[in-house]
Structure 1
């Protein structure tokens, strides 16, 4: 089958069906009716209907009056500046802890027919942490109407006796009329022509198709009618490794879905100032997919903060929360789900994404599922997106993508919700908002006292055939208010006995972590056990989530296996006394054990070379200096063979930086006094500085700047007539602090005047 035929089969099927339903009318491709937008703002005393019982509009805004504990304010009917089909509420409010504020909005037609009151909640997709205001639920007019002309809002306040009042400082409505645009049949005709032309171009250029063709997509040049739709300044790119599902938190019924997409584009682009629609793609309830952010493959959108770079976002148009939630949602219709599966399958095929795996994004320090919901980005509690009813379908969506691609996972998964997992009958925590592999996880808090250890879990490893398997465990990134343990202690029961493996959940949270390779039998005897007992920390998260197995050898070997445990790979240590721990499987025949440490991976420059008769699995060594790069390995010898473990890299940095305040300058053109400091740390590097000052002759110092990465700052002497002294202290990236300087580094008598024509000196440190 040639490329053009595959494009026609996969991309134009939906359009062909739509064309049957909609006879194509003529449409001028140059006709670009512009989407209209208008705004209304209520603030301070100008809230409509300024006073009602228990609520008063004052200079600060709308608030409860004493002694009211609850009250609801309903505005008069307000005529919008323009007819509108979409309304975006935004607000600025102070809501003290223990108090509450609710917003509801309804819209009406020119002839007085009103829609239902719609509860307005924060839209986390469209509210960034740095924004001064909150964006609320997008409200679209009912499916039977084209536009509405009137709006009315209701504000509910609540508090407990003696508490401060919640305060609504500002309420802002953005009205959009995006109804002026091509009809669906006109868009189908345009898109068919564009796709046919593109297919011919690809065929002529010899572009190889993906194994899984891109599904039908309504492109921007078809649905977007604004002249600025092709504005391409500021586009940035990053190869896509992750797929993120969103929902728009809007009405689930509409008579014109392309108009809804145009309204979202207008709001994101202008009202929020993002320059474009945030999502890479959108899908409506009929399964029609719309191109979102301009730029094509790998363009970086605006939809998930630090997770924007390296991800592709699909937003389901509508609200998919639970029916009893506010606002209430529905389950995504099947055509919408099929469209999502097709789009994600195309991208997974194009980029080689394993939708069952996890990995780090460029701007993230923790791991995330390769196919996830928006809420997964920040651990489950930052947002409900894509809504619970859509989020629960993520396992189905991963399977649907894999089935479309014919992907057969090399792993066997054992989930903590299956019959192959059992746990102690104690108090357990569960990952918030479904956080965890396939929407669930258990966790508890670490303890160091064996007498306080109560929580344990055990997986029966579902081994399909006897052999050597790599065992991997998963600790999800979930918001719990604490970090994860550095000492999760697993016990593997395998064909040659049992082995203990200690790993850090904290180092690779959100990623699959290998425990090593073990000989396993397929008779139900292979087990994995984890408890809350550690030797490293107290009160940190110990995670009991899915585990997985991968066959790496066809038979159970009797030769020894070596698993290096501590120090873990790429670990920076801040103590020169290092405890080396390793695990030798099938170690009964070991005659001699070696421990080697070198400054190079080839072990030509050894700094430690020890050996013992028989089997040894631990040793502690105190080094006399720091090392920026060390490698260690273990060698064991039996009567018939010698096994060498792969080298593991680590480093030692137990010394703080060396810094100094080295300059005090008076700028001739404005009289400002500038202090300069710097230093060096040849290992982990300087992270921050602390700069202190004092009056000359004083014994005590005053902190001027703390935890700063800057190396210059303007100093305003508390008393210009006095002499001030300065000293600095550096802290490296591992937390090693430079000892406090006994004497001052510099004082204001050493000031250097800089005339207008001389720039500040650039001093490289």
Structure 2
């Protein structure tokens, strides 16, 4: 049997199990009375007992009394107008920046048993930007009590010295009693009766037999007890392209989840004036799914502002923030998660939604993930919905949907949190509240000055097999207070070299952007690099998030040979004219001919060696007939389709010593001092030092006077002024090549030249 057909058959099995778990109270279709609602408002001086403890009530509302900086107020016990199982706080307040206001509520029974104090936070799902008031956390009665009769609230204010006081203008409570409805067992019986009278088929679901069947859903006809549930006016439709996960920010324990759904419907429909429950579907902790907004497929709900049109919303009943958050939350139970995966899989299959992709909605100019949390609509700010513990499970939920549909993504994804991404050790920003693909992203600010560029990131394009791949990058829609760069400059290193692609993050924010198709090896040599340097703007967002690759049908081009010169190394001076040339050729299997070329200029217009061989050659020894102060060598290889020329490498040959001589002997007329002068030349590596020797004219052996000197003059004192002395020099170059010792003297003291004037001394001493 087709697995998708079995999913459709599982609907009846789920209802059968629910019928066992929730016994039916009676026979026939149960018709309960309507849900009841009542309101209480506290404003101005009528805040109960608010004159105490540094807080005062005035016409404007409840506020701190000078000079108090912090204070709290707890109201008297208040009897509600009706017994209630759900309480919805709402308020209007001015809370200046840097000040604080907190609200807590507890509820009690007729016999005086009280709940814990429950911190009330803003419910962003239920507060629209145009609303004058703020909707707080929905408070539900504990499972064992069913309904409560009393309420008590506590207000806390805080500010710094010199600041204005927070002002609570109005506090409003909506009490709802939605307990007068069918039990779960009764609803299951009614749903079974409805399904039996209207058999559910693939045709009725509007899907083909090979599609994923819609999971079991408790219809509005069953759970809603109010005649207004069946209105038909004002419905709008838009094909669904996106799936959004919410949470109701309500109690995580209840004995009557349908009553919670009815309470939400009553509050959304009447108290908020939305005309219906905002979500398309809701799911309780047992995995039971409830139909939400009336209208069926593609109906537009009220749950995510501009993202309402084109989306389907599922709200998890409860609070799924972190345990230490206010209010504290839990992790969504597994039956609830399985229900979410089944519902989203059905809709994704029906509408062809790729839950790993992103796209634009009709009323939005930026892109959003196809399966997302409510907070993603606002770029990670404005709301924590669906709670951190649910939001962290979105990657699991996407995988679970794909597994149910047998979908295997053709893409290889490389996250910026993986080992295949590295970045500079500089200051980085991260997307707010987990904003980014799979709950994370990095960003920095663009610069146009190369000297100010500090941030870079590099992805290793690890592909499972070599081939041509389409490369896409993602820049998430995240609220940072600034726009994005128009000049993100990506450098792709691939099998044919490197390519630079510049793309606008601002024009494509929230979308996957194609950089093109590139040949890649499976050895990790492919790289993608992005920096903060642009040529378009300063101080705008540059995003470093996931990248993905999809292999195309393009054939990988032949691998280009690479040439690495090894010996002689660059700028090397050699003292031997017989030289062993060595080079390494990578990817050399297709080389048909190899050239070795040596020239006296980098343009190779005056070549002294030009040899070639058939096939691949990687070494050759050559003997030169002379020394060279400057030579360049390179290797050229040719394949059937291309020719590769290596970059030239410079070297030189110097095998001979310098030519030097002692050329002057001077006597200074004013003091009788004697000066010896010498010099020479070496047109290759240059003279490093001189050795100067002397001897008496009648002696055979030479005496070293200066063993190693870079000077070219020195004062000489004859050992015996009555004798004639001879001099000779020997030069050594920078490679250690020594000049042959002179067989005869260069000069003797009989050749002395008198210098009667001191002004000539600097000429000698140069």
User: In which range does the TM-score fall when normalised by the shorter chain?
Assistant: 0.7 to 0.9
Query: Residue by residue, what CA displacement relative to the aligned partner does 1:10-68 show, whole Å, maximum 9, x if unpaired?
Result: 21222111122233332553624100000000000111113112000100000000000
Question: How far apart are residue 463 of structure 1 and its match?
Answer: 1.2
Question: How far apart are residue 702 of structure 1 and its match?
Answer: 103
Q: Which moved more, 1:189-198 or 1:614-623?
A: 614-623
> Structure 1 residues 83, 564: CA separation in 2 closer, same or farther (over 3 Å shift)?
farther
Contact 1:3 1:203 in 2 (8 A): no
Between the aligned partners of 1:640 and 1:670, the Cα distance in structure 2 is 81
Q: Which moved more, 1:333-342 or 1:633-642?
A: 633-642
- Aligned twin of 2:597: 596
Question: How far apart are residue 209 of structure 1 and its match?
Answer: 4.0
Query: Residue by residue, what CA displacement relative to the aligned partner does 1:121-169 show, whole Å, maximum 9, x if unpaired?
Result: 0000000000000000000011111100000000000000000000000
Q: Secondary structure at the match of 2:758?
A: coil
Between the aligned partners of 2:39 and 2:721, the Cα distance in structure 1 is 52
Between the aligned partners of 1:631 and 1:759, the Cα distance in structure 2 is 46
> Structure 1 residues 352, 132: CA separation in 2 closer, same or farther (over 3 Å shift)?
same
- Aligned twin of 2:642: 641
> Structure 1 residues 639, 673: CA separation in 2 closer, same or farther (over 3 Å shift)?
same
> Structure 1 residues 585, 77: CA separation in 2 closer, same or farther (over 3 Å shift)?
farther
Between the aligned partners of 1:59 and 1:719, the Cα distance in structure 2 is 122
Contact 1:63 1:168 in 2 (8 A): yes
Q: Does structure 1 residue 210 correspond to structure 2 residue 210?
A: yes
Question: How far apart are residue 561 of structure 1 and its match?
Answer: 21
Query: Residue by residue, what CA displacement relative to the aligned partner does 1:529-558 show, whole Å, maximum 9, x if unpaired?
Result: 000000000000000000000101353168
Contact 2:379 2:478 in 1 (8 A): yes
Query: Residue by residue, what CA displacement relative to the aligned partner does 1:356-404 show, whole Å, maximum 9, x if unpaired?
Result: 0000000000000000000000100110000000000000000000000
> Structure 1 residues 252, 764: CA separation in 2 closer, same or farther (over 3 Å shift)?
farther
Q: CA RMSD in A?
A: 27.0
Between the aligned partners of 1:713 and 1:295, the Cα distance in structure 2 is 110
Question: How far apart are residue 661 of structure 1 and its match?
Answer: 100
Contact 2:122 2:134 in 1 (8 A): yes
Q: Secondary structure at the match of 2:765?
A: coil
Contact 1:309 1:361 in 2 (8 A): yes
Between the aligned partners of 1:281 and 1:28, the Cα distance in structure 2 is 26
Q: Which moved more, 1:263-272 or 1:669-678?
A: 669-678
> Structure 1 residues 595, 540: CA separation in 2 closer, same or farther (over 3 Å shift)?
farther
Question: How far apart are residue 195 of structure 1 and its match?
Answer: 2.2
Q: Which moved more, 1:703-712 or 1:120-129?
A: 703-712
Contact 2:69 2:159 in 1 (8 A): yes
> Structure 1 residues 757, 689: CA separation in 2 closer, same or farther (over 3 Å shift)?
closer
> Structure 1 residues 641, 481: CA separation in 2 closer, same or farther (over 3 Å shift)?
same
Question: How far apart are residue 624 of structure 1 and its match?
Answer: 65
Contact 1:496 1:586 in 2 (8 A): no
Q: Which moved more, 1:256-265 or 1:619-628?
A: 619-628
Q: Which moved more, 1:196-205 or 1:732-741?
A: 732-741
Between the aligned partners of 1:516 and 1:620, the Cα distance in structure 2 is 46
Contact 1:10 1:214 in 2 (8 A): no
Query: Residue by residue, what CA displacement relative to the aligned partner does 1:414-460 show, whole Å, maximum 9, x if unpaired?
Result: 10000000000000000000000000000000000000000000000
Between the aligned partners of 2:40 and 2:675, the Cα distance in structure 1 is 47
What 5-or-longer segments of structure 2 have no aligned partner?
none
Between the aligned partners of 2:185 and 2:600, the Cα distance in structure 1 is 69
> Structure 1 residues 530, 84: CA separation in 2 closer, same or farther (over 3 Å shift)?
same
> Structure 1 residues 411, 80: CA separation in 2 closer, same or farther (over 3 Å shift)?
same
Query: Residue by residue, what CA displacement relative to the aligned partner does 1:508-541 show, whole Å, maximum 9, x if unpaired?
Result: 0000000011111111100000000000000000
Question: How far apart are residue 682 of structure 1 and its match?
Answer: 75
> Structure 1 residues 75, 552: CA separation in 2 closer, same or farther (over 3 Å shift)?
same
Between the aligned partners of 2:83 and 2:758, the Cα distance in structure 1 is 60
> Structure 1 residues 132, 720: CA separation in 2 closer, same or farther (over 3 Å shift)?
farther
Query: Residue by residue, what CA displacement relative to the aligned partner does 1:92-118 show, whole Å, maximum 9, x if unpaired?
Result: 000011100000000000000000000
Contact 1:210 1:346 in 2 (8 A): no
> Structure 1 residues 194, 614: CA separation in 2 closer, same or farther (over 3 Å shift)?
farther
Question: How far apart are residue 317 of structure 1 and its match?
Answer: 0.3
> Structure 1 residues 471, 397: CA separation in 2 closer, same or farther (over 3 Å shift)?
same
- Tell me the TM-score normalized by structure 2: 0.73
Query: Residue by residue, what CA displacement relative to the aligned partner does 1:715-748 show, whole Å, maximum 9, x if unpaired?
Result: 9999999999999999999999999999999999
Between the aligned partners of 2:307 and 2:139, the Cα distance in structure 1 is 27
Contact 1:471 1:547 in 2 (8 A): yes
Query: Residue by residue, what CA displacement relative to the aligned partner does 1:665-708 show, whole Å, maximum 9, x if unpaired?
Result: 99999999999999999999999999999999999999999999
Contact 2:345 2:401 in 1 (8 A): yes
Q: Which moved more, 1:469-478 or 1:755-764?
A: 755-764
Q: Aligned runs of 1:284-683 on 2, under 5 Å?
A: 284-553=284-553, 555-556=555-556
Contact 1:436 1:545 in 2 (8 A): yes
Query: Residue by residue, what CA displacement relative to the aligned partner does 1:236-288 show, whole Å, maximum 9, x if unpaired?
Result: 00000000000000000001000000000000000000000000000000100
Contact 2:501 2:515 in 1 (8 A): yes
Question: How far apart are residue 9 of structure 1 and its match?
Answer: 1.7
Q: Secondary structure at the match of 2:8?
A: helix
Contact 1:41 1:170 in 2 (8 A): yes
Q: Which moved more, 1:19-28 or 1:576-585?
A: 576-585
- Aligned twin of 1:185: 185
Contact 1:500 1:583 in 2 (8 A): no
Query: Residue by residue, what CA displacement relative to the aligned partner does 1:547-576 show, whole Å, maximum 9, x if unpaired?
Result: 000101353168999999999999999999
Contact 1:360 1:367 in 2 (8 A): yes
> Structure 1 residues 612, 717: CA separation in 2 closer, same or farther (over 3 Å shift)?
same
Between the aligned partners of 1:118 and 1:253, the Cα distance in structure 2 is 14
> Structure 1 residues 231, 161: CA separation in 2 closer, same or farther (over 3 Å shift)?
same
Between the aligned partners of 1:727 and 1:304, the Cα distance in structure 2 is 99
> Structure 1 residues 367, 284: CA separation in 2 closer, same or farther (over 3 Å shift)?
same
Q: Secondary structure at the match of 2:672?
A: coil
Q: Which moved more, 1:664-673 or 1:675-684?
A: 664-673
> Structure 1 residues 111, 16: CA separation in 2 closer, same or farther (over 3 Å shift)?
same
For the pair shown, the structure with the greater C-alpha radius of gyration is 2
